[in-house]
């Protein structure tokens, strides 16, 4: 008997407000053409005045919970992957736990920036595999609009707000092979020596303010292509599979050119890559669960499909997961 963490249901929330490239042309010296060519982004969602990360996390979490058919009291723990919490503390997760009436159990935020959801999958999987939890709610929720410098054209055109969630549940029917449903392997990395190519220039222990995103885009781009192709090769090797066996590549949505490079390296056509970056922009830890929820909703990702999930973010952090949906 092998215990696997199966994705029982997904949920998503996107704020109503759409900020288009044409809108940005009126705010900074940029053009729709530049943004589309360099990043593939056409529009992104922006939280309403007063709408917070907790609000978005609760909405995505509620949808996943409802679709799972479980009550809040059936959920043993909640992890929220975020770099844009409402407050320094308490965690977003603690507020979500209260709002959704989840069982008294572990509730904490996980901060690995754009790799957050991949890290979260790994951590939630460990709670389930070690028998500490039977069901976990895992959420990626971000309000990057609040840490973007709206005068900096090199970053402000790239990010958006939103939240995505999954309910993970222990399943004992696995045979210990890649045919099992659930999380099959996770692979996490960080290299803190590269902290200066993508960071926020503030925080509680430094400026006392939350600060703004600073990024050396080209360097981050190069690292994303390099490290993600390395970790993807590791996933294939570890699970003894070839890229032809993968039904969907589900990458963190930062830049369409990074997604295309990853697909090319794997010899996969773009038809098998889940893409939301054109409409969501980069929603950091929320991008993967948002993209998954959308693809499931559209009937593209189906039960039994093999998903290769990958991400890179500030830290640098990066990672991948192989999941049979
Ligand atoms: O999610 C975490 C991980 N983050 C990422 O993966 C992001 C990785 N990086 C990227 O996606 C890309 O590097 C960017 C989309 C950020 C930038 O694309 P690029 O092809 O690397 O462009 P660049 O930064 O080299 O900029 C090229 C030119 C520069 O002008 P000069 O120096 O060549 O005269 C920039 O000043 O484009 C200029 N530029 C802009 N022009 C119009 C930079 N931002 C803009 C803009 N509109 N918004």
- Which listed residue (156, 252, 255, 280) is catalytic? 252
**CB contact at 8 A, 39 and 255:** yes
- Rounded distance from Cα 158 to ligand 1 centre (Å): 9
Structure tokens at 97: 């736990």
Q: Check whether 15 has a pLDDT greater than 90.
A: yes
- Ligand 1 and 220: CB distance under 6 A: yes
- Residue extents of the structural domains in the chain: 2-174, 182-324
pLDDT value at residue 204: 97
Class of domain 2-174: alpha beta
Instruction: Take atom 2 of ligand 1 and give the residue whose Cα is closest.
Output: 313
pLDDT value at residue 323: 98
Angle between helices 53-68 and 92-99 (to 10 degrees): 50
What's the chain's average pLDDT? 98
For 313, phi then psi, to 5°, come to -150, -175
Tokens 């893409």, located at residue? 275
Collect all residues with Cβ–Cβ distance below 8 Å to 179 and sequence separation of at least 6. 324
pLDDT value at residue 1: 84
- Secondary structure string (H, E, C) spanning the chain: CEEEEEEEEEEEECCCEEEEHHHHHCCCCCCHHHHHHHHCCCEEEECCCCCCHHHHHHHHHHHHHHHHCCCHHHCCEEEEECCCCCCCCCCHHHHHHHHCCCCCCCEEEECCHHHHHHHHHHHHHHHHHCCCCCEEEEEEEEEHHHCCCCCCHHHHCCECEEEEEEEEEEEEEECCCCCCCEEEEEEEEECHHHHHHEEECCCCCCCCCCCCEEECHHHHHHHHHHHHHHHHHHHHHHHCCCHHHCCEEEECCCCHHHHHHHHHHHCCCHHHECCCHHHHCECHHHHHHHHHHHHHHCCCCCCCCEEEEEEEECCCEEEEEEEEC
Report the C-alpha gap between 228 and 225 in whole angstroms.
6
Q: Check whether 148 has a pLDDT greater than 90.
A: yes
- Ligand 1 and 129: CB distance under 6 A: no
Task: For residue 307, name the pLDDT band (cuts at 50, 70, 90).
Answer: very high
- Which listed residue (114, 212, 255, 280) is catalytic? 114
pLDDT value at residue 124: 98
The arithmetic mean of pLDDT across residues 284-305, rounded, is 98
pLDDT value at residue 262: 95
Collect all residues with Cβ–Cβ distance below 8 Å to 207 and sequence separation of at least 6. 201
| Nearest alpha-carbon partner for 12 in 139, 164, 114, 171 | 164
pLDDT value at residue 275: 98
Output the CA torsion sign for 78, 83, 87, 88.
positive
Q: Report the predicted TM-score, pTM, of the whole model to 2 decimal places.
A: 0.98
Q: Is 282 a catalytic residue?
A: yes
The arithmetic mean of pLDDT across residues 46-71, rounded, is 98
**Which CATH number is associated with domain 182-324?**
3.40.47.10
pLDDT value at residue 51: 98
Percent of the chain residues topping a pLDDT of 70: 100
The arithmetic mean of pLDDT across residues 80-91, rounded, is 98
The arithmetic mean of pLDDT across residues 218-224, rounded, is 96
Q: Check whether 151 has a pLDDT greater than 90.
A: yes
Q: State the Rg of the chain over Cα.
A: 18
- Ligand 1 and 112: CB distance under 6 A: no
Q: Is 156 a catalytic residue?
A: no
Task: For residue 206, name the pLDDT band (cuts at 50, 70, 90).
Answer: very high
Task: Give pLDDT tens digits for 248-289.
Answer: 999 999 999 999 999 999 999 999 999 999 999 999 999 999
Structure tokens at 272: 């098998």
pLDDT value at residue 298: 97
> What ligand 1 atom has the least distance to the C-alpha of 255?
11
Q: Is 101 a catalytic residue?
A: no
Report the C-alpha gap between 18 and 134 in whole angstroms.
38
- Ligand 1 and 114: CB distance under 6 A: yes
**CB contact at 8 A, 81 and 112:** yes
- Ligand 1 and 164: CB distance under 6 A: no
Tokens 């963490």, located at residue? 5
- State CA 217 to chain mean position distance: 19
The arithmetic mean of pLDDT across residues 132-156, rounded, is 98
Query: Fold identical between 2-174 and 182-324?
Result: yes
The arithmetic mean of pLDDT across residues 22-43, rounded, is 98
The arithmetic mean of pLDDT across residues 48-71, rounded, is 98
Note the maximum CA span of the chain.
59
Output the CA torsion sign for 234, 235, 239, 240.
negative
């Amino acid at each position: 008997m092998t215990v696997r963490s199966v994705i029982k249901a997904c949920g998503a929330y996107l704020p109503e407000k759409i900020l288009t490239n044409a809108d940005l042309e009126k705010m900074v010296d940029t053009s729709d053409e530049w943004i589309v060519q360099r990043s593939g982004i056409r529009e992104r969602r922006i939280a309403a005045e007063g709408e917070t990360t907790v609000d978005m996390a609760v909405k995505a979490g509620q949808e996943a919970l409802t679709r799972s058919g479980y009550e809040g009291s059936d959920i043993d723990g909640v992890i929220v992957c975020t770099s844009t919490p409402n407050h320094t503390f308490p965690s977003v997760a603690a507020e979500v736990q209260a709002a959704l009436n989840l069982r008294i159990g572990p509730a904490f935020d996980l901060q690995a920036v754009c790799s957050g959801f991949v890290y979260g999958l790994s951590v939630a999987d460990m709670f389930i595999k070690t028998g500490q939890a039977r069901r976990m709610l895992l959420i990626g929720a971000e309000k990057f609009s609040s840490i973007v410098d709206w005068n900096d054209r090199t970053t402000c055109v790239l990010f958006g707000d939103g939240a995505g969630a999954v309910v993970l549940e222990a399943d004992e029917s696995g045979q210990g092979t890649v045919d099992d449903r659930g999380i099959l392997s996770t692979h996490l990395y960080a290299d803190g020596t590269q902290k200066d190519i993508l960071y926020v220039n503030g925080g509680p222990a430094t400026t006392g303010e939350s600060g703004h995103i600073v990024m050396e885009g080209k360097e981050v781009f190069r690292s994303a292509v390099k490290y993600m192709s390395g970790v993807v090769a590791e996933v294939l090797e570890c699970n003894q599979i070839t890229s032809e066996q993968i039904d969907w590549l589900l990458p963190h949505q930062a830049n369409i050119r990074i997604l295309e490079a990853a697909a090319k390296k794997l010899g996969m056509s773009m038809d098998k890559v889940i893409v939301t970056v054109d409409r969501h922009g980069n929603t950091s830890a929320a991008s993967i669960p948002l993209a998954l929820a959308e693809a499931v909703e559209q009937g593209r990702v189906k039960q039994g499909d093999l998903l290769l999930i990958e991400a890179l973010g500030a830290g640098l952090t990066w990672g991948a997961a192989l999941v049979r949906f």
